[in-house]
A and B are shown apart, each in its own frame.
Chain A
Amino acid sequence: MSGLRLAWIKFSRDRLAFSGFLIILSLILVAVFAGVLAPYPEDTFSIHPAARLQPPSLTHFLGTDSMGRDIFSRLLFGARVTLIISIIAVGTSLLIGVPLGLIAGYSENWLSELIMRIADIFLSIPQIILAILLAQSLGPSIPNVILALSITYWPWFTRIVFAETRSLKQTVFIEATEALGANPLRTTVLHVLPNVSSSIIVRSSIGMGFTILTAAVLGFLGVGAQPPTPEWGVTIAESRQYLPDAWWYATFPGLAIFFVVMGFNMLGDGLRDILDPRIRRGFE
C-alpha cells in the first residue's frame, strides 16, 4: 500500500483528528458556497428594521440581529472572511518565517544570531497592541488585521524551523550530503525542508486556529474588521448591548469561533502523528 493511503487509514481511525478534519472541511465548503447555502444572501448588508432581534424560528433559524439581518446567513459569509484572513496571515508568516528559520538554522554565525534576535523582538509584540497601533495610524480594516497577524506570527515558524534545522545539522545524513558536494541551498531545500515539513504543517494548522481567534478578538475590540462586515468577532461586539435577552445574537458566532479553532487544533494534533514516517511503519 502506498504511504498516502496508509496515512489516510491511520488518519480516519483517529477520531479526534478526523472530527477536526470534518469541521475544517465544512468550514471550507461553507466559505466557498456561502452564496448558495445562505437563505438570505443579501442580508450581509441589507437591513430590515421591522424584523429586528427575532429569536430562532423556522424563517430565521438562528434568529436575526439588531438590524433584522439573518444571523445564519451572516455566519456563513463570516466563514469566508475568517478563512481569507487566516489563510493569508498564515501563508505570509510561512513565506517569511520558514526561509529565515532555514537560514538561521543552517548558518552558524552572526547572521543566525541576527535573525533569531529579530524574531524575538517580533515575538514580544502583543498582536492586539500592534493591531490597535495599525488601526490608529492606517485605519481599522481587514488588510491591517492580516498585516498585524503576519508580522507577529512568522517568528513561530522561524523558531521551529531553526530548532529543527540545528538538530538536523548534527545528523550524519546532512553531513554526508555535504560530503557529497551539496551546496547550502541544495542541502536545506532538498534535505532539511522535507524533514521539518511535518512540524511546519502542524504549526500551520494550529496557527490557523490562533489567527482566527485573534482576528475575532480584534474585530470584537473594533480595531479589526468593521461593521457591517459579517465577521464573527464584529457580530459578537454588536450583540453586547442586547444581552442577555437576545441570547442567540452572541451565542452562534461564539460557537462558530469555538468549533473552528478547536477543529484546527485537533487537525494539527492528528497531522503530527500521521506525518512521522517512523509511525507509518506500524501498518506494514
Chain B
Amino acid sequence: MSFFVPWLISFTERDDKEIVMIETMSVQSVLKRAQIAGILERTCQELELTEAQFELAKNRYETAGVWLAESDEPLIRGAEIYPQGSMSLGTTVKPLGRKEHDLDLVSLLRHLVRSVSPASLKRAIGERLRANGHYRDILEEKPRCWRLVYANEFHLDITPSIPNLACGRGGELVPEKNRPEWKPSNPKGYRIWFEQRAQLKPRIRLTEAEFAKMRAQVEALPEPTAFKGLLRRTVQICKRHRDVRFSTRESRLAPISIVLTTLAAKSYAYCATHFSYDTELDVFLDVVRYMPAFVERRMVDGHERYYVWNETTEGENFAEKWNADPRLAEAFFAWHKAAVTDFEQLVLLAGLDQMGRELGRFLGEIPVNRAINALTQAVSAARTGGRLSVVAGVGLTTGTPAGMPVRSNTFFGR
C-alpha cells in the first residue's frame, strides 16, 4: 500500500517484522526537519523564475522563434526554438547581484547537416535578429550563442543547433566553445532523462501509525513544510550554494550548472532506489553527499581524468574541462565538502535566528530573510485570524484546532 503525501513523498507498509527493529526518529526531529525543508523550499521559491516571468519569457522566445522561422534565408527558414537547461528543467536560480535570469534556448534547424559550419549558421541567426528593430539594440554576441538582453527581466541566450544523425537518441549538434566544430548534445533527451529521475519517489520508513501521527502534527505547523519536487530543489540549493561560495572566490572555477544538475539527478536516482529515509530532508542530505560518487575517474597516462557523462548522447563529458585544468576538479570537490558541512549542521541549530543567519551565510541573506519573513507572517496571520494554538511537544500551530488556543493579547512594555 502506498500513500502520496507532499511532505513525506511515500510510505510503504511493512510486512516484514524484522525491519521494525529499525528505530525511527522522534516526532520532534521529524518536525524540525520538516520545518527546515519548508524554509529551504521557500528560499528556492524566492530564487526561481516566477510563473509570470516564465510566461513572459516564453512569449518573448516564441516571438523570436517565429521571426527566425519566417526568414527568407534558407539556412534558418523553419527554425524551431525551445528552452533547454534550467528553464526546461524547472531549476532556475536568480544570479547573485543582478536582476536578470539567464535562460538558454536552442534554435534547431532540422534540415541542416554537419557540412554547414556552426559559424555560418550562427552568423545567419545574428543577421536575421539584427534585421528586426526590436532585437537590434538588445542583441549581444556570445562565443556560442546570441543573447537578447531584456533589462530587469532576463537574458535569452539562443544557441543554434542541427540534428545529430549519428546519435540514435534524437540528439543534436551545437557549436563548441572556441572551436570551429559541432559537438554532440541532446537538450530534449536530457530533459526527459532528468524528468524520469525527478519522478522517482524515495522510500520512507515509518509505520502507518507513526506516519499518521506525524503527518497530523507536521500539517499543523506554519507552511511550507515540504519540498515541491525534491530533485529540483536539491539542484537549485546546490547551484545557489555554489553561486554564493564563488562570489568571493575565483568565479571561473565554479562548477558549472549542468555538472551539478547531472550529479544530483544520478545521486537522487541512486538514493531513491537503494535506501529508505525518515524525512525528505534526510533524502536531500544524502543526495548531496553522494554526488561525487557519480564522477567517473580513470587513470590516463598517469593522470587522473574525470567524466560526468551525458547519458542521452554519445561523447558528451560535462566535466571535460576538468581534464585540461585540474583546479576545476579541486574546486568542485572543495565546494562539495563545504556544501555537505553546511547542509548537515542545519539540524543541529536551534533558534529561528540561528537558522536564518546560517542559511543566509551560504544561500544569501535576501532570499533567506524573505523565507523567514514568510514564516513569521504565517504565524501572525493565524494569530489575527484566531487560528493559532500551542500544542505541547510541537509549539505554535496554525493548522489544527487541537491544543491551547492563543487568545488575543497586546504585548506591552518598552
Chains A and B bind each other: no
